[in-house]
Amino acid sequence: MKYTVITGSSSGIGYQTALAFAARSKNVILVARRVAQLQELKNEIHDMNADLDVVIKTADLSDSEQVHELYDSLKEYDIETWINNAGFGNSAPVAEQDVQKIEKMLRVNIEALTTLSTLYAQDYSNKEGTQLINVSSDLGYRLAPNAVSYAATKFYVSAFTEGMAQELREQAAPMKVKILAPAMTETEFVKTARELDDFSYSDNVQKYHTAKEMAQFMLELYDSGKTVGKVNSESYEFELMDPIFPYVSKPTAK
């Protein structure tokens, strides 16, 4: 039995991605902090297909010890796809931002993603049919006011993931490494970033995608031979493309 791991699967893109992969008869491992939402998702998947194995793992990815414990707890499973979707944002000028919140964001968006990507690659990079997909952002390729720190974390995710994809390609490793870069998406993101009790996308945002639409884009990226799946920040069209950042290949021996 093979499994797809999805972090941050208690809501938003992660939740819908789990449903999308389950619709393809993929066994899933659901990772998040909120067990009630994970149980709800598990029930929804079993209503769709009772034969699928759905594993719930609760973890706070801002705690490095829990990150390692999470990975160690999955050693018994054959993981064909790992999706690092967990992350959150912040909306404030750098000089006014909450330092503790930013430190937590760095641990989740950068440290946990890097650790889990590295551990997964160590165990699976030479296995055919495996994929690692890291979720960045349109702001992983451009900067915006009041989101500088968040964008910087996503620049890291984009650069790290693109570089990892190029590195494994040079090594002729069979694992495929890809990056999904959403633009504005109807999730809990804005509420968390701005610390709001509620937020209406239809009332406040001119262009956005639903989490379900982004999950379908995730599948398009999964099925493709491209490295980057990115929402165009102007047209809001989803585009599949080769790596964007320059990569200096190793010189060939003469």
**In tens digits, what is the pLDDT along the chain, a chain of 254 residues?**
999 999 999 999 999 999 999 999 999 999 999 999 999 999 999 999 999 999 999 999 999 999 999 999 999 999 999 999 999 999 999 999 999 999 999 999 999 999 999 999 999 999 999 999 999 999 999 999 999 999 999 999 999 999 999 999 999 999 999 999 999 888 877 777 778 888 888 778 788 899 999 999 999 999 999 999 999 989 999 999 999 999 998 776 55
Residue type, 219: L
- Confidence (pLDDT) at 253: 56
> What is the distance between the alpha carbons of residues 73 and 228, in angstroms, rounded to a whole number?
30
> What is the distance between the alpha carbons of residues 135 and 137, in angstroms, rounded to a whole number?
7
Tell whether 250 is covered by a domain. Answer: no
- Confidence (pLDDT) at 201: 80
For the four alpha carbons of 62, 198, 180 and 143, in that order, the dihedral sign comes to negative
Residue type, 14: G
Tell whether 251 is covered by a domain. Answer: no
Tell whether 140 is covered by a domain. Answer: yes
Tell whether 253 is covered by a domain. Answer: no
Tell whether 205 is covered by a domain. Answer: yes
- Confidence (pLDDT) at 127: 98
Domain limits at 11? 2-241
> What is the distance between the alpha carbons of residues 57 and 226, in angstroms, rounded to a whole number?
30
Tell whether 123 is covered by a domain. Answer: yes
Tell whether 247 is covered by a domain. Answer: no
The domain tally of the chain equals 1
CATH number (domain holding residue 97):
3.40.50.720
Rg (CA), the chain: 18
CB count within 10 Å of CB 163 equals 15
Contact of 62 with 113, CB cutoff 8 Å? no
Q: In the numeric block, which tokens belong to residue 147?
A: 């989101």
pTM of the full structure: 0.94
- Residues near 150 by beta carbon (within 8 Å), at least 6 away in sequence: 89, 90, 91, 105, 109, 137, 139, 193
Tell whether 248 is covered by a domain. Answer: no
Residue 165 CA: distances (Å) to CA of 27, 142, 178, 205: 25, 21, 7, 33
